[in-house]
């Protein structure tokens, strides 16, 4: 494993970076898309079941299937990393919409009334009162999404997207377990880094409390 890492250091570092990008990009895009959708679902109770059921349905689809179907829907090349990014964004949105909707519904009514009494209205109240209160729950959801994204990106090696998952296919072709093990360890390391980053950002955003879920 050490010898492999010495011989392929540059390549492995590049794969680590690509892996990180392919996992983080969908997380950010997915979160940005899920916030307005979650708000809609929490605000209009008739929208809620539809959005949640659709999210559940999308979450049911196996990732390999989604990776492979993407090109025929968005007209990308089969080997394009965009397929992986779009597919993982769909998963992230599917997971986060429900988390955000439930977190917003759980904002205490008296807090909301107090905010209104202090003169907060509409978007201002949402951004400065409701959303910050929902942050700990959103952070918990993002941690799950980040961990799953790191694992799912590696599956992209099956459709030819080069990242840490390529260590699994390489190890299998060469029949060398230690290369696979290196890939697993680097994936876990990446997942840990992302997890810690998300927790730290969550703490910065919720300075009034130290209880992050």
Q: What is the contact surface with other proteins in residues (CB under 8 A)? A: 48-49, 52-53, 55-57, 59-69, 71-73, 78, 91, 95, 98-99, 102-103, 106, 137, 140-141, 144-145, 147-148, 150-152, 154-155, 157-160, 164-165, 167-169, 171-172, 175-177, 180-181, 183-184, 187-188, 191-192, 213
- Nearest Cα neighbor of 126 from 117, 136, 116 is 116
Q: Which is nearer to other proteins, 33 or 47 (CB)?
A: 47
- Nearest Cα neighbor of 153 from 144, 143, 163 is 163
Q: Which is nearer to other proteins, 49 or 124 (CB)?
A: 49
Minimum distance from CB of 124 to other proteins (Å)?
A: 25
Tokens found for residue 128 = 């400065």
Q: Which is nearer to other proteins, 82 or 116 (CB)?
A: 82
Minimum distance from CB of 152 to other proteins (Å)?
A: 7
Distance (Å, whole) CA 13 – CA 5:
9
Distance (Å, whole) CA 42 – CA 152:
29
Q: By the 8 A CB rule, do 7 and 182 touch?
A: no
Collapsing DSSP to helix, strand or coil, 79 comes out as coil
């Amino acid at each position: 494993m050490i010898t492999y890492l010495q011989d392929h250091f540059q390549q492995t570092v590049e794969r680590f970076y690509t892996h990180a990008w392919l996992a983080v990009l969908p997380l950010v895009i997915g979160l940005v898309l899920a916030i307005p959708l979650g708000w809609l679902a929490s605000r209009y109770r008739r929208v809620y079941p539809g959005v949640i059921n659709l999210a559940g349905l999308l979450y049911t689809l196996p990732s390999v299937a989604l990776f492979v179907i993407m090109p025929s829907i968005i007209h990308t090349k089969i080997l394009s990393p965009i397929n992986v990014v779009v597919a993982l964004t769909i998963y992230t949105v599917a997971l986060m919409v429900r988390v955000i909707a439930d977190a917003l519904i759980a904002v205490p009514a008296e807090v909301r009334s107090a905010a209104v009494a202090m003169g907060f209205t509409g978007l201002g109240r949402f951004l400065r009162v409701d959303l910050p209160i929902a942050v700990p729950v959103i952070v918990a959801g993002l941690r799950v999404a980040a961990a799953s994204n790191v694992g799912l990106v590696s599956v992209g090696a099956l459709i030819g997207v080069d990242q840490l998952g390529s260590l699994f296919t390489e190890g299998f072709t060469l029949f060398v377990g230690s290369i696979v093990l290196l890939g697993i360890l680097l994936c876990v390391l990446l997942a840990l880094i992302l997890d810690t980053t998300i927790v730290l950002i969550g703490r910065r955003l919720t300075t009034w409390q130290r209880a992050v879920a």
